[in-house]
Amino acid sequence: MPENKGVPAWEEHRRVLVEALGGGDLSRPGLGQAMVSASASFCEAVMLGKEEAERQRVRTSHPGRRAGAGNRPLSVARVVPRAPQSDVSNPSGAHQGQDLPGLRDCSKDRGPGT
């Protein structure tokens, strides 16, 4: 693609664009990096604003509704590990307990005829 630095009709537009990009270059990689940087700055500003709004909400909320040591908000959930996928050698998909630590085979606990 030819460079258009010498076209006087575009000089003012180019100056405004370069100024908006913080003096960055106008190549595709340069424009791409400028877009990524602008998006990251936007997201960071939004998240900081949301975090501050949440801190303000907690500060001004009723004291009985605040999350204490034994009263965690629902957003702080315990992560439960996922069970392993069924094995090709076990087409029924039933787990025998050997691949889940602490899980035993309960089929032996059943009485006759169950």
pLDDT 10s digits, 56-98? 999 998 776 655 555 555 555 555 556 555 555 544 444 444 4
> How large a percentage of the chain has pLDDT more than 70?
50
Residue 98, domain member (yes or no): no
Residue 107, domain member (yes or no): no
Q: Which tens digits make up the pLDDT trace of 27-40?
A: 899 899 989 999 99
The pLDDT of residue 23 is 81
Reduced to 3 states (helix: H, G, I; strand: E, B; else coil), residue 97 is coil
pLDDT at 44 over 90: yes
Residue 92, domain member (yes or no): no
State how many domains the chain has: 1
Residue 74, domain member (yes or no): no
Full DSSP string of 58-81: HHHS-GGGS--TT---TTSPPPPP
Residue 40, domain member (yes or no): yes
Residue 80, domain member (yes or no): no
Q: Which tens digits make up the pLDDT trace of 6-29?
A: 688 989 998 898 888 888 788 899
Which domain covers residue 55, as residue numbers? 1-62
Residue 70, domain member (yes or no): no
Round to whole Å and give the CA distance between 41 and 33: 12
pTM of the model: 0.43
pLDDT higher for 82 or 42? 42
Q: Which tens digits make up the pLDDT trace of 88-101?
A: 554 444 444 444 45
